[in-house]
Structure 1
Amino acid sequence: MLIEQGSTWPPPTSYYDTMRHRWESWAAWWSGDLDKLKANASTCAPGGYWARHATKPGGRQMHMPLAADIARTSAELIFGDSPRLDWGKDATKVTDTWETLADEIGWTNSLLEGAEIAAALGGVYLRPLWDQALAKQPMLTMVRDDDAIPVFRFGRLAEVTFVTILNDDPHRTLRWLEHHEPGQIRHELWEGSTNNVGHVVPLTDHPVTRGLDGEPIDTKPIRGNELLVEYVPNDLPQPLVHTPHGRSDLQSLETDLDALDEVWDSWIRDIRLGKGRIITPADYLEPVNSGARGVAAQLFSKLTRGGAEKAFDVDAEAFSPLPNMPGDDPTKPATITVAQFALRVQEHADTANELVDNIVSRAGYAPQTFGRHVEGQLSGTAMARRERRSTGTQGRKRQYWKPATRRVAETLMLINAHVFNGPAPAERPGLDWPAPQADPKETAETIQLLSNAEAISTEIKVKMAHPEWEQQDVDDEVKRIKVERPAAPDPLDGGEPFPPSGQDNGADDRAEGQ
């Protein structure tokens, strides 16, 4: 049994109490759902824009989905170019099997999905699994940081329980608990309430868990006494807790994101209130029947003595002044007055731009990565210099992903060998990302300069021009270049062959002297 029956939920752990509310807040920013923002954003941004809207019914809310853009951009920086796996020189069959398996499981898309989850919530679990009733090969799924209860030992994942709520009834909550520990996996279905785990019920009580085995699944033939699951932190260390939970890209930026939404809302409100209108005498207004009023008119209306109503429509273009206002001159004839408020476009734009640049930079990225401040034609070197902050974040995150990605690829192949009779890998694969594509013009100029200085070989020239080529492709190209380009003449060769050693040339010299 994973936990004691009738115990409180969620389990009282020091890290979970600290992280749970933040996961809810980050998930709300990531999703951009207005209801979730009103319910959870105030956790990390108290007293702000969304905290006020949480207690104020009605009204219009505006949201700038910058948090979602940051998470997606992070994933594209890490896995926009899919990493290459090397299973060894003599592992042709394993390599071919892996390529087929990677296509079937959606390897690249799964990694992109996991990287986006990690950027938003701070970490993600890579869960290999198999279900012969669903697929004829292993599968790879991503589990969010807020759907897991892990146990870390010496900074390493020792065991973990994945929690899936199958129905969200506060009086009868079904939780599917999937417990991974060294050498085995266990599935249990619990019936309880929102704050109590309740008791164990048969897996057959719900269609999702009906096909699962109630007995522990032995994973020793696959990986011995090791976990099949991998945890990837987005970044470390995590200053909020003493466990190696990853740090979200949104961490400590919640108040800035809240302020950005407030500026965006203020800007749109200026546009709404700044519509061109006229103020017209009351006699010019026509009665409005109750049944014909719009929503806005129903909110702002006044019943007159005759039973008809005169309405205020926020989208109307003509309004009537209130009678007997100070300064009114009854002797003057009624006139139509034009009202047009100025829109603070530049002020809002400057504030929003400053907030966006600050958020993006503090999240670890260059504004240019998001298409900002890129004016005119830039060389590859200039662009790389501007993108340096994003490049540094990319390299840092890839170092966290590399060991877990290698290991989970090996686990998938081991499952494929044990369950589906595929070839087993002899070793863990090597992993590397493709070299970034340099500017072709700058690459050609660099090769030319090194060639003029006689400081580069033909092989290195080809590798610089085609970094994506394999060594065999490079060797073939070097051979073709040597065949097409004749060797340069020897500068020490004057054209006349040297005489054989010991031969006397005196006769020729005497003949010339006569």
Structure 2
Amino acid sequence: MRDVLIEPNTQWPPPGHDRLRTHWESWRAWWSGDIRELKKYTPQTAPGGYWERKRNKPGGREIHLPLASDIARTSGELVAGDTPALDFGDTSLTGQWDDLSQTIGWANRLIEAAEVASPLGGSFLRPAWDDRVADYPLLTVVPGDEALPEFRFGHLWSVVFVEELPPPAGWKAQRSGEVWRHLEHHELGQIRHELWLGSSSDVGRQLPLAEHPSTNYFPHQIDTTPIRPGLLCEYIPNYLPNPLVRLPLGRSDYQANETFFDALDTSWDSWMRDIDLGKNRLLISREMLDPVTQTGGRGGFLGRGRKDTPAKAFDIDAEVFTPLEMPAEDQGKPAPITPVQFKIRYQEHAETVAALIEQIVSRAGYAPQTFGMHVEGQLSGTAMRRREHRSYRTRERKRRYMRPPVERCAETLMLINHVMFSGPKPTKRPTLAWRETDQADPKETAETVNLYRQAKAMSCYIAVAMAHPEWDDVQIKEEVARIEKEEAELMAPPPTGHEPPPGTDPNQPPQQPEDDQ
């Protein structure tokens, strides 16, 4: 079966997702914070802005506030910072999964997938195996802009993962701009590997996998039906729907925020310019200065050179402006020293920057308090949660989209471990539950539990589960047993000294000594 067929010498990238590609380049630039990438790609979605001006007129200060990167990192921590618990319906299988997940680095992969999905709208979980690398299944995260997916009825039908490779050692390019590509086709029941040599706009020609050291150990085709029917990889959308496309490709947290990102960098640049201009300087007459010479080099002065020319270059760090022709107040006397101190518009810039940050994080679906804004004073856990309600709602929405593919991916990893490494076989798909460890203040939880217990409206089991939401059923029951034992010991009557010895029946009368009979 060949769901995605790449023809030689055809357009690259293939038609489809064209509208998103421009945005992907821009979003990745904002996410990286790299100045060259910002100048190259962000003008496509923020025309006429700060970075387009910097691209057309290079030089001078170039400043960037990495709020976009902070949003992606915060999204990853909110969504997957608390590793979900997976229940396979069997205690031994769940224990085997816990050990396997620690070996695979499951928690790290989920955080990566959530962070990647924030700027790019989605990410892929790609299970793999290679006994030359490890004796257990492997899991990698593929960004959404490095794949060519095909959907049917809203479900992932096939996907091609694209990786650009460096030229092999000793390769002499036949033409400029050559691009080596490794295409990994994931289709129903199989995985295919292909090596192509083309250009940035042309897929070129297919070569044997042995032609490149990065692909020479891949088989051309792998039958995946012994593991499971269907695809092995999973797509995690950031959240849906996406108004840019009709396909179920996730929506980026940066979508519709590009011009605000650009305005934020403009505001920071203006603020720094005010600080430069606000340096205290003195205006004095030329007659009050010592003569200096110019070196003749680019921007050089205050040194020996080929010309004895007074320095005329403007030094923004100088404490004195030189030289100025100023009329003397009295005949034969130089003009007085005149201090100059420009106003630094700190308050105006601070308010502008704060307003832009608040607009950006709110449009991305988060509360400003999540990013350290408006948190003056000491607040309880409940008060903070109420302030961050928008962030928690966004987190829950992303988790609902993340749950089904994560459950299927965990099942696939267990099946790979069973087929390839003789591990236990799962009998059913696991059920995911997020561990909630940051939901309430411990003091407020204790007060709530105490009120319910006094009103006889909560059992000891529910009280322990509410106080320790991260515990499983076994841990809760063990704690309940310990509590009941301690309560029974406290409620026992005090000793009187006439208690029967341990191990005797308290209902039998004590035996008389033989001498008294």
Q: TM-score, normalised by structure 2?
A: 0.87
The 5-angstrom pairing of residues 31-42 of structure 1 reads: 31-42=32-43
1:377 CA drift (Å):
1.4
Distance 1:56 1:272 in 2: 20
Distance 1:100 1:305 in 2: 76
Contact kept? 2:295, 2:307, Cα under 8 Å: no
- The letter of the residue matching 2:448 is T
Question: Which residue is equivalent to 1:493?
Answer: none
Question: Which residue is equivalent to 1:4?
Answer: 7
Distance 2:211 2:33 in 1: 35
Distance 2:306 2:159 in 1: 69
- The letter of the residue matching 1:199 is R
Distance 1:483 1:352 in 2: 59
Distance 2:334 2:292 in 1: 22
Question: Which residue is equivalent to 2:422?
Answer: 421
| Shift in alpha-carbon separation, 1:158–1:448, aligned structure 2, 3 A | same
Distance 2:178 2:436 in 1: 53
Question: Which residue is equivalent to 2:409?
Answer: 408
1:242 CA drift (Å):
1.0
Contact kept? 1:287, 1:310, Cα under 8 Å: no
Contact kept? 1:164, 1:177, Cα under 8 Å: yes
- The letter of the residue matching 1:400 is Y
Between 418-427 and 447-456, the greater mean CA deviation after superposition = 447-456
Contact kept? 1:126, 1:408, Cα under 8 Å: yes
Question: Which residue is equivalent to 1:244?
Answer: 248
Moved over 6 A (4+): 327-330
Question: Which residue is equivalent to 2:222?
Answer: 217
Contact kept? 2:126, 2:140, Cα under 8 Å: yes
- The letter of the residue matching 1:462 is V
The gaps in structure 2 that reach 5 residues or longer are 168-172, 493-517
* Secondary structure of the structure 2 residue equivalent to 1:110: helix
The 5-angstrom pairing of residues 97-496 of structure 1 reads: 97-167=96-166, 170-214=176-220, 216-224=221-229, 226-283=230-287, 284-290=289-295, 296-297=299-300, 306-307=308-309, 309-323=311-325, 331=331, 333-437=334-438, 438-486=440-488
1:347 CA drift (Å):
0.5
Question: Which residue is equivalent to 1:500?
Answer: none
Contact kept? 1:105, 1:138, Cα under 8 Å: yes
* Secondary structure of the structure 2 residue equivalent to 1:450: helix
1:29 corresponds to 2:30: yes
* Secondary structure of the structure 2 residue equivalent to 1:280: strand
- The letter of the residue matching 2:255 is Q
1:304 CA drift (Å):
11
Question: Which residue is equivalent to 1:506?
Answer: none
- Cα deviation code 1:245-278 (max 9, x no counterpart): 1100000001111101111111111111211111
* Secondary structure of the structure 2 residue equivalent to 1:485: helix
| Shift in alpha-carbon separation, 1:468–1:335, aligned structure 2, 3 A | same
1:285 CA drift (Å):
4.3
Distance 1:394 1:305 in 2: 67
- The letter of the residue matching 1:231 is Y
1:312 CA drift (Å):
2.4
1:8 CA drift (Å):
1.1
- The letter of the residue matching 2:370 is T
Distance 1:472 1:421 in 2: 29
Between 131-140 and 28-37, the greater mean CA deviation after superposition = 131-140
Question: Which residue is equivalent to 1:52?
Answer: 53
| Shift in alpha-carbon separation, 1:356–1:176, aligned structure 2, 3 A | same
Between 118-127 and 454-463, the greater mean CA deviation after superposition = 454-463
- The letter of the residue matching 2:341 is Q
| Shift in alpha-carbon separation, 1:83–1:335, aligned structure 2, 3 A | same
1:67 CA drift (Å):
0.4
Distance 1:21 1:391 in 2: 30
Contact kept? 1:175, 1:191, Cα under 8 Å: yes
Question: Which residue is equivalent to 1:497?
Answer: none
- Cα deviation code 1:378-398 (max 9, x no counterpart): 122211111110110010000
Distance 1:362 1:144 in 2: 23
- Cα deviation code 1:429-459 (max 9, x no counterpart): 1110113442121112112222332222222
Distance 1:328 1:231 in 2: 78
Contact kept? 2:137, 2:413, Cα under 8 Å: yes
Contact kept? 1:297, 1:312, Cα under 8 Å: no
Distance 1:21 1:431 in 2: 35
Distance 1:335 1:304 in 2: 33
Contact kept? 1:288, 1:311, Cα under 8 Å: no
| Shift in alpha-carbon separation, 1:377–1:308, aligned structure 2, 3 A | closer
Between 103-112 and 254-263, the greater mean CA deviation after superposition = 103-112
| Shift in alpha-carbon separation, 1:448–1:98, aligned structure 2, 3 A | closer
| Shift in alpha-carbon separation, 1:312–1:153, aligned structure 2, 3 A | same
Question: Which residue is equivalent to 1:512?
Answer: none
Distance 2:328 2:265 in 1: 41
1:9 CA drift (Å):
0.9
Contact kept? 1:87, 1:425, Cα under 8 Å: yes
Distance 1:273 1:118 in 2: 41
Distance 2:464 2:208 in 1: 64
- Cα deviation code 1:385-429 (max 9, x no counterpart): 111101100100000110010101111111111111211111111
Distance 1:318 1:106 in 2: 60
Distance 1:280 1:205 in 2: 72
Distance 2:455 2:120 in 1: 52
Distance 1:203 1:193 in 2: 18
Distance 1:256 1:26 in 2: 13
1:375 CA drift (Å):
1.3
Q: Percent identity?
A: 53
1:192 CA drift (Å):
1.1
Question: Which residue is equivalent to 2:499?
Answer: none
- Cα deviation code 1:164-220 (max 9, x no counterpart): 111388532111111110000101111111211111111111111111112x11001
Q: Tell me how many residue pairs correspond in the alignment.
A: 477
- The letter of the residue matching 2:272 is I
1:321 CA drift (Å):
4.7
* Secondary structure of the structure 2 residue equivalent to 1:411: helix
